């Protein structure tokens, strides 16, 4: 290991854990003067249709954006993963905007989608970490995460930055129906720090799990579902364990058949309108003998293990609940003795189709 690497990682063993902890430093970085949120939102206001595209983690952020825009700003969007976008681009209506989300701004699938969208006359709005990237240069308006280079292949702090930008957009387009001003943001920062300080708790939790876990399911409804997907992506790529994000209401439509006493099920269940339904699903799972890890601001006897979240406004929970899942993925990788920074078979930026 070179000296530079040691310095860059500071006190941390890996870039991934450093970047997870850095989230408290980078959280508010998108809110700098150079990010013209009003201009970006004006394009959205003037559009007849709004599409969102991205790959992997960036796609998961788009899914949350869809839910928040619908709920608070009453704006209908369609989220299409970039690798599938080309199969829909023929029906892109005139006067559409396509919001492309990409940490690197170099993902081939995203660039290809944007090219197709432009050919169909769409305006391109992008959310990137690299303002000089190919995607940024193809865009009519950009917002940057400004979270610094992300070295770990798994997207962590960039996802957080993307979420913050999405929340700000929804705040503006909902005319404040979803509060997200400086005060909310500073409060949120404190809560993010609080959740990050549960690092040791998560480490213990992971060390108590069976080393040969084959499957982890993550359940969530509504705004928690995109986080369930993102958490499962993190576990797959970092720890090489099969993980699946499941919309809790879908359990009885199939996935329940997979649950047995070997299963580990994480439930994302802060108190909101989904709470009781997710408790019911948890009871169904419990009766099949699965091990349940509850992530919530309210304890429940159905959970075998509990990760406590602080109280925040319910729409903000996605920002907090991803942190224990990132930490869990990292410690699962260590438990499996695999390199969390450079997962096998994966590249940080997928520049080929
Ligand atoms: O740079 P991008 O945001 O366009 O990258 C998209 C995906 O390749 C990326 O998010 C990938 O899924 C991450 N490795 C997930 O942690």
Which atom, in ligand 1's list, is nearest to the CA of 158?
3
- 2-6, 70-74, 242-246, 278-282: least confident range: 2-6
Q: Do 58 and 201 have their domain in common?
A: no
Nearest CA to ligand 1 atom 11: 56
Q: Do 157 and 204 have their domain in common?
A: no
Q: Which of 128, 126, 167, 199 is nearest to 28 (CA)?
A: 167
**How sure is the predictor about 2, in pLDDT bands with cuts at 50, 70 and 90?**
very low
Q: Can you tell me the mean pLDDT for 332-353?
A: 90
Place of tokens 């499962």: 232
CATH number at residue 33: 3.40.50.10490
Report which secondary-structure segment, H or E, holds 111: helix 108-119
Q: Can you tell me the mean pLDDT for 262-273?
A: 97
Q: Do 215 and 258 have their domain in common?
A: yes
- Dist. CA 61–CA 68, nearest whole Å: 11
- Asked, for residue 352, whether it belongs to a domain, the answer is no
Task: Give residue 103 CA to ligand 1 midpoint distance, Å.
Answer: 7
Which atom, in ligand 1's list, is nearest to the CA of 343?
14
**How sure is the predictor about 7, in pLDDT bands with cuts at 50, 70 and 90?**
low
Task: Give residue 56 CA to ligand 1 midpoint distance, Å.
Answer: 5
Q: Do 75 and 218 have their domain in common?
A: no
pLDDT of 5 over the 80 cut: no
Q: Name every residue whose Cβ is closer than 8 Å to that of residue 262 and which is 6 or more positions away in sequence.
A: 214, 215, 290
pLDDT at 90: 86
pLDDT of 112 over the 60 cut: yes
The structure's pTM equals 0.96
Ligand 1: residues with CB < 6 A are 55-58, 102-104, 107, 110, 153-155, 233, 237, 349-350
Q: Do 107 and 222 have their domain in common?
A: no
pLDDT at 33: 86
Q: Do 148 and 269 have their domain in common?
A: no
- Asked, for residue 79, whether it belongs to a domain, the answer is yes
Question: Using one digit for the tens of pLDDT, what is the confidence trace for 10-59?
Answer: 899 999 999 999 999 999 999 988 999 999 999 999 999 999 999 999 99
Q: Do 49 and 103 have their domain in common?
A: yes
Average pLDDT, the chain: 95
Mark which of 180, 213, 234 sits at the end of a domain: 180
Query: Which residue pairs from 307-314 have beta carbons closer than 8 angstroms and sit at least 24 positions apart in sequence?
Result: 307/198, 307/201, 307/202, 307/205, 308/198, 309/195, 309/270, 310/191, 310/194, 310/195, 312/187, 312/188, 312/191, 313/179, 313/184, 314/270, 314/271, 314/272
Task: Give residue 315 CA to ligand 1 midpoint distance, Å.
Answer: 24
Q: Can you tell me the mean pLDDT for 198-218?
A: 95
- Dist. CA 132–CA 116, nearest whole Å: 21
User: How many whole angstroms from its chain centre is CA 199?
Assistant: 19
Mark which of 180, 214, 237 sits at the end of a domain: 180
pLDDT at 40: 98
Q: Name every residue whose Cβ is closer than 8 Å to that of residue 163 and which is 6 or more positions away in sequence.
A: 61, 64, 318, 319, 322
pLDDT at 134: 97
Ligand 1 binding pocket mutation candidate from 54, 58, 153 (most atoms within 8 A of CB): 58
In this structure, are residues 308 and 293 in contact, taking their beta carbons and an 8 Å threshold?
Answer: no
pLDDT of 191 over the 90 cut: yes
Q: Do 163 and 307 have their domain in common?
A: no
In this structure, are residues 28 and 185 in contact, taking their beta carbons and an 8 Å threshold?
Answer: yes
What range defines the domain where residue 292 resides? 197-335
Task: Give residue 55 CA to ligand 1 midpoint distance, Å.
Answer: 6
- Dist. CA 157–CA 141, nearest whole Å: 22
- 17-21, 180-184, 190-194, 201-205: least confident range: 180-184
Listed in sequence order, the DSSP H helices in 144-291 are 157-173, 182-196, 199-207, 225-239, 275-286
Ligand 1 binding pocket mutation candidate from 155, 226, 239, 243 (most atoms within 8 A of CB): 155
**Between β-strands 291-296 and 264-268, what pairing exists: parallel, antiparallel or unpaired?**
parallel
In this structure, are residues 86 and 107 in contact, taking their beta carbons and an 8 Å threshold?
Answer: no
Q: Do 213 and 174 have their domain in common?
A: no
Per the structure, how many domains does the chain have?
2
Where b means 16+ CB within 10 Å and e means fewer, 239-265 reads bebebbbbbbbebeeebeeebeeebbb
- Dist. CA 155–CA 152, nearest whole Å: 7
Nearest CA to ligand 1 atom 6: 55
Q: Do 175 and 290 have their domain in common?
A: no
Q: Do 223 and 165 have their domain in common?
A: no
In this structure, are residues 136 and 91 in contact, taking their beta carbons and an 8 Å threshold?
Answer: no
Question: Using one digit for the tens of pLDDT, what is the confidence trace for 226-238?
Answer: 999 999 999 999 9
pLDDT at 1: 44
Nearest CA to ligand 1 atom 9: 56
- 85-99, 152-166, 185-199, 225-239: least confident range: 85-99
- Asked, for residue 236, whether it belongs to a domain, the answer is yes
Place of tokens 């905007």: 97
Which atom, in ligand 1's list, is nearest to the CA of 55?
6
Which atom, in ligand 1's list, is nearest to the CA of 234?
16
* Greater pLDDT, 211 or 57: 57
**How sure is the predictor about 347, in pLDDT bands with cuts at 50, 70 and 90?**
confident
Ligand 1 binding pocket mutation candidate from 60, 61, 62, 103 (most atoms within 8 A of CB): 103
Q: Do 114 and 209 have their domain in common?
A: no
């Amino acid at each position: 290991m070179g000296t530079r690497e040691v310095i860059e990682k500071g006190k941390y063993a890996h870039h991934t854990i450093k970047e997870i902890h850095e989230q408290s430093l980078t959280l508010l970085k998108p809110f700098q003067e150079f990010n013209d949120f009003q201009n970006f939102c004006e394009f959205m206001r003037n559009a007849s249709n709004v599409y969102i595209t991205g790959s992997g983690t960036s796609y998961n952020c788009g899914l949350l954006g869809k839910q928040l825009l619908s709920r608070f700003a009453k704006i209908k969007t369609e989220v299409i993963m970039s690798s599938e976008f080309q199969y829909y681009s023929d029906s892109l209506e005139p006067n559409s905007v396509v919001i492309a989300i990409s940490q690197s701004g170099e993902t081939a699938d995203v660039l290809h989608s944007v090219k197709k969208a432009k050919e169909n006359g769409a305006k391109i709005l992008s959310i990137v970490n690299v303002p000089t990237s190919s995607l940024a240069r193809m865009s009519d308006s950009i917002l940057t995460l400004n979270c610094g280079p992300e070295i770990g292949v798994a997207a962590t702090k960039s996802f957080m930055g993307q979420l913050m930008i999405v929340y700000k957009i929804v705040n503006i387009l909902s005319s404040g129906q979803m509060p997200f001003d400086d005060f909310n943001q500073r409060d949120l920062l404190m809560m993010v720090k609080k959740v990050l300080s549960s690092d040791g708790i998560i480490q213990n939790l992971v060390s108590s799990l069976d080393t040969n876990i084959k499957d982890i399911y993550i359940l969530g409804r509504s705004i928690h579902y995109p986080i369930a997907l993102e958490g499962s992506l993190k576990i797959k790529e970092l720890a090489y364990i099969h993980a699946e994000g499941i919309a809790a209401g879908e359990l009885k439509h199939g996935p329940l058949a997979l649950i047995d006493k070997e299963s580990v099920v994480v439930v994302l269940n802060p108190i909101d309108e989904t709470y009781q339904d997710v408790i019911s699903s948890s009871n169904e799972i419990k009766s099949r003998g699965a091990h349940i890890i509850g992530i919530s601001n309210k304890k429940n006897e159905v959970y075998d293990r509990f990760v406590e979240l602080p109280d925040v406004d319910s729409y903000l929970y996605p920002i907090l609940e991803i942190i224990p899942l990132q930490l869990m993925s990292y410690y699962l990788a260590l438990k499996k003795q695999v390199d969390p920074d450079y997962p096998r078979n994966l590249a940080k930026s997928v520049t080929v189709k």
